[in-house]
Chain A
Amino acid sequence: MICSQSHESWNDLPGGFHPASTPDYLPLPQLRDLQLRRLQATVRRAYDHVELFRTRMRERGITADDVRGLEDVARLPFMDKLDLRDTYPFGLFASPMSEIVRLHASSGTTGKPIVVAYTSEDLHVWASVMVRTFAACGLHRGDIVQNAYGYGLFTGGLGAHYGAEALGATVIPISGGNSARQIMVMKDFGVTAICSTPSYFLHLIEQAESMGMPLRDLPLRAGIFGAEPWTEAMRQRIEDAAGIKAYDIYGLSEIIGPGVASACCAQHGLHIFEDHFLPEIVDPVTGQVRPDGTAGELVLTTLSKRAMPIIRYRTHDITSIVTEPCPCGRTIRRIHRIGHRTDDMLIIRGVNVFPSQIEEALLAVEGTLPHYQIILTREKGLDQMEVQVEVTSEVFSDKIRSLENLQNALSHSIERTLNIRARVRLVEPQTIERSAGKAKRVIDKRELS
């Protein structure tokens, strides 16, 4: 096990959590058996208590008793975000309000927000999967964790908070924003790990530089980053720039929040905590299940959620399930990093483009440049893509020719990757808007009918 070195320290910590005691390492037959029993109970619960689910099951002529093996999950109806909107606010709850102890909601940028609910058992499961997340990222009792995910209706803040506390780490509930204070706290409190979105952490790297205390000089050693898609190239850039290990985590409020899947020390894919969340990969168009190793849309079924069981949820995230066992020794399966979502695909002059492809093309050019924004306009009926990239001191030269060469190199790299031309525009540092949460990568000014 390549993680064994970091495991040794667990034994020295009285009361410390030992990751090998978790279901991460269950023998597969035992894991599959546990999943089946939980799936059957979840389907039964949803059938008995959630009208929308019961109606759809009846339309298909099946009942909860028809789930006899794990493969029968494919017979169940899908759910997606629209179902959560349509039943707003409480229509999918399977528990009476007297058993529900927490509500969260999505930001609701388009129309009504979606609401998710937790019983106290659900909160316990949530904390336990976040403990396993942090443990997989090498954190333990004694770590000082700066939690820069937003606190509030967003699940990121409280999800990471209770997980880190349950792990036994020291939590700083600083939430997002106020970057100068983030850096001050990080330095003065001797922070060893941070939770945030990758784009916000990039902003903190710059902030620290400008305050004359580069992050690589601080004790910070790990970043637990999630809540937005990012690329492997960006992850490595963050590791180099801040002198830390950067870990990718995955989750969504509809399923539980953060804690659905996490990278481990092997840094190759994210382990799904599949004793609680059953993954499938389906064809995004037909909904047909695809075998492990094939790319498609990730579909998740909660196996232990009580307040709000979610069955076959269409995540719109594109990934595939890794077929090889992980060198870290965990038996739970991995998904590949989420590069893009079916719904952040842009269609530019008829070509399908994902923002992550542009990020990769930019990072392929030496010395560049993680801050970028894509601006789409339509001129005389033709789509135009402008990619604004911030100039940094590493790439800035006093010669116009060098800057023009840089512009051309970036623009060629995009054209090579996407087969469409983009205008690259170099802009001054700090001119692309920073957010404390998810980065806004695309501004679409085309008027699409």
Chain B
Amino acid sequence: MKLHQLSLFLENKPRQLRVPSKVLAAAGVDILTLALADTQQFGILRLIVQDWEKARQVLEQAGCVVNVTEVVAIEVPDRPGGLDQILAVVEEADLNIEYMYSFTFHRGDRAILVIRFEDGDAAIAALQANGINVIESVELFKQAKA
């Protein structure tokens, strides 16, 4: 129901992103999506990958600090008002969003929102009660992407 997201601590300076990217490439880990949050001093790279356990292992071996969090991925129609429809449910259920990122596909008419809720279980219940499609596994995530 919830997906495992890997978060990496990065210092905010040139070439830092290349380290995890190289490690994942060498291990043949498929990155499904990512987002980079930054502050003046440091950044957090958030990743959803095909095999999160393997990814965590190789990243930690390479000396990265990795945190695993559960996030909720939901499918939304890729049209005006798509996001607002979701946020209406979130507001109605009084859910707190820590952060989110989204992306669309090259074909098709859907987008995916990845959201870190303060209370993931409550969020899933509320979203599903309102007929919103919560992506249940990385595999389905991939199919949606294809």
Q: Is the CB of B63 within 8 A of A393?
A: no
Which of A36-44, A115-123, A422-430 participates in binding chain B? A422-430
A429-B39 contact given A396-B9, A398-B46, CB 8 Å threshold: no
Q: Is the CB of A398 within 8 A of B11?
A: no
Q: How far is the CA of A429 from the CA of B9 in the complex (A)?
A: 9
Residues of A within 8 A of B41 (CB): 407, 425-426
Residues of A within 8 A of B11 (CB): 426-428, 431
Which of B24-32, B65-73, B119-127 participates in binding chain A? B65-73
Q: How far is the CA of A404 from the CA of B61 in the complex (A)?
A: 26
Kindly supply a per-residue 1/0 record for chain A positions 365-405, scoring 1 wherever the CB is within 8 Å of any chain B CB and 0 otherwise: 00000000000000000000000000111001111100110
Q: How far is the CA of A397 from the CA of B11 in the complex (A)?
A: 14
Q: Is the CB of A404 within 8 A of B67?
A: no
Q: How far is the CA of A41 from the CA of B63 in the complex (A)?
A: 57
Kindly supply a per-residue 1/0 record for chain B positions 41-69, scoring 1 wherever the CB is within 8 Å of any chain A CB and 0 otherwise: 11010100000000000001101111101
- SS class, residues of chain B in contact with chain A: strand
Whose C-beta in chain B lies nearest to the C-beta of A430?
Answer: B63
A400-B69 contact given A428-B9, A430-B63, CB 8 Å threshold: no
Interface residues of B in 91-137 (CB under 8 A from A): 98-99, 116
- Chain A, interface size category, equals 10 to 19
Q: Is the CB of A428 within 8 A of B65?
A: yes
Q: How far is the CA of A198 from the CA of B99 in the complex (A)?
A: 40
- Identify which of B46, B65, B99 contacts A391 (C-beta below 8 A): B65
A396-B67 contact given A391-B9, A428-B9, A428-B10, CB 8 Å threshold: yes
> Is A286 at the interface (CB under 8 A from chain B)?
no
> Is A210 at the interface (CB under 8 A from chain B)?
yes
- A132 CB → nearest B CB, Å: 41
Whose C-beta in chain B lies nearest to the C-beta of A392?
Answer: B65
- Identify which of B9, B16, B37, B46 contacts A426 (C-beta below 8 A): B9
Whose C-beta in chain A lies nearest to the C-beta of B43?
Answer: A400
A393-B42 contact given A210-B60, A399-B98, A399-B99, CB 8 Å threshold: no
Q: Is the CB of A398 within 8 A of B67?
A: yes
Whose C-beta in chain B lies nearest to the C-beta of A426?
Answer: B42
Residues of A within 8 A of B39 (CB): 400, 403-404
- A207 CB → nearest B CB, Å: 11
Most buried by A among B16, B39, B65, B98: B65
Residues of B within 8 A of A407 (CB): 41
Q: Is the CB of A429 within 8 A of B98?
A: no
Kindly supply a per-residue 1/0 record for chain A positions 414-440, scoring 1 wherever the CB is within 8 Å of any chain B CB and 0 otherwise: 000000000001111111000000000
Residues of A within 8 A of B64 (CB): 428-429
Most buried by B among A400, A403, A427: A400
Whose C-beta in chain B lies nearest to the C-beta of A206?
Answer: B63
Residues of A within 8 A of B16 (CB): 428
- Identify which of A391, A398, A426 contacts B69 (C-beta below 8 A): A398
Whose C-beta in chain B lies nearest to the C-beta of A388?
Answer: B11
Residues of B within 8 A of A393 (CB): 60, 65-67
Q: How far is the CA of A118 from the CA of B67 in the complex (A)?
A: 54
- Identify which of A392, A396, A398, A403 contacts B116 (C-beta below 8 A): A398
Interface residues of B in 1-41 (CB under 8 A from A): 5, 7, 9-11, 16, 37, 39, 41
Kindly supply a per-residue 1/0 record for chain A positions 85-100, scoring 1 wherever the CB is within 8 Å of any chain B CB and 0 otherwise: 0000000000000000
Residues of A within 8 A of B63 (CB): 210, 428-430
A396-B69 contact given A403-B42, A428-B10, CB 8 Å threshold: no
Q: How far is the CA of A398 from the CA of B41 in the complex (A)?
A: 15
Q: How far is the CA of A431 from the CA of B42 in the complex (A)?
A: 14
Q: How far is the CA of A345 from the CA of B65 in the complex (A)?
A: 33
- Identify which of B5, B37, B66, B67 contacts A400 (C-beta below 8 A): B37
Q: How far is the CA of A396 from the CA of B46 in the complex (A)?
A: 13
Whose C-beta in chain B lies nearest to the C-beta of A212?
Answer: B61
- B109 CB → nearest A CB, Å: 30
- B65 CB → nearest A CB, Å: 5
Residues of B within 8 A of A426 (CB): 9, 11, 41-42
Q: Is the CB of B7 within 8 A of A398?
A: yes
- B69 CB → nearest A CB, Å: 5
Q: How far is the CA of A397 from the CA of B6 in the complex (A)?
A: 10
Whose C-beta in chain A lies nearest to the C-beta of B69?
Answer: A398
Residues of A within 8 A of B37 (CB): 400
Residues of A within 8 A of B9 (CB): 391, 396, 403, 426, 428
Q: Is the CB of A210 within 8 A of B61?
A: yes
Q: Mind listing 10 A-B residue pairs with CB under 8 Å?
A: A398-B7, A399-B99, A403-B39, A403-B44, A404-B39, A425-B41, A428-B9, A428-B16, A428-B64, A429-B64
Residues on B close to A: CB < 8 A? 5, 7, 9-11, 16, 37, 39, 41-42, 44, 46, 60-61, 63-67, 69, 98-99, 116
Shortest 4 CB-CB distances between A and B: which pairs?
Answer: A398-B7, A396-B65, A398-B69, A391-B9
